[in-house]
Structure 1
Amino acid sequence: MTSFRRRLRRPVLLGPSAAVLLLAAAGCSTTDTHASITVPTPTPEAAAYCRALHKELPKTVAGQERNDPGPKSELTAGWGDGAIVLRCGVDRPAKMDDPMAKGAEANGVNWLLEQPEDAGPRFTTTYRKAYVEVSLSTAYAHDISPLAAFAAAVKKTVPSSI
């Protein structure tokens, strides 16, 4: 058993071919920089608003470049590597029936706040003819400023329901 311990203490040196093989395998990893999300299935009316919204969305949000998640859809968009994800045409959240639900306002657009477990905040527009959901990573746990980037596009393309 002592000889086994001695072998553990010795550093393992790789030959040139083994090191190249190890680096090549690391370079071939299948990490996907696009997040994968569920595409909503809105009514035809809501889908039309969502398609219009998709055309108006900003190229950057909170310093994050546009990087749409898969599968590609006019109902979804993303920024960063899943840091900010927008889905348009989602169902009305049940939380909207809660009179104690928390909300926020960003540049004239009202949002319902939900805080899923082990995830960053999720916001859904209120008083609009299509529900727009924005999920933020935990990096934005106490920061709703990314919502301001969506206000102009939402106001322009998704009419108020009141």
Structure 2
Amino acid sequence: MQYRKSQEVIDRLTSEQRRVTQEAGTERPFSGEYNDHTEPGIYVDIVSGEPLFASSDKYESGCGWPSFTKAIVSANINALRDTSHGMIRTEVRSVHGDSHLGHLFPDGPPERGGLRYCINSASLRFVHRDDMVSEGFGEYLDQVE
């Protein structure tokens, strides 16, 4: 499957999705659609469709945003130094869509690698396990509980 940034898709985003993905915005904590989401499946970039995170790697960190311990395909994630807002952080962007996703922190569960991908719901689209094959993501079924 080919993943790419498309102006047509960007034009269909909500104002919040556009602000987050295209302007490196951040949604308010505990306001995102996927913060408390627990269904089995994968999360893909809302702009490019590239697979990013599996539900089996999602956990409740208490931070107010969906948190994951690892990317489903590490090659689909860019980690960049972010010095905005007077802090030094690691920004997480999708490779093919160049969407701002959130930030990466070294305070995740130690037994699962110690990383916390803190991701904005507005940058994601969820693909339920039951729809993964029909949507072309069958190769990732083994990563979904």
TM-score under structure 1 normalisation?
A: 0.29
Q: Larger relative CO (CA 8 A, sep 6+): 1 or 2?
A: 2
Between structure 1 and structure 2, the one with the greater Rg is 1
TM-score under structure 2 normalisation?
A: 0.32
Larger proportion of strand: 2
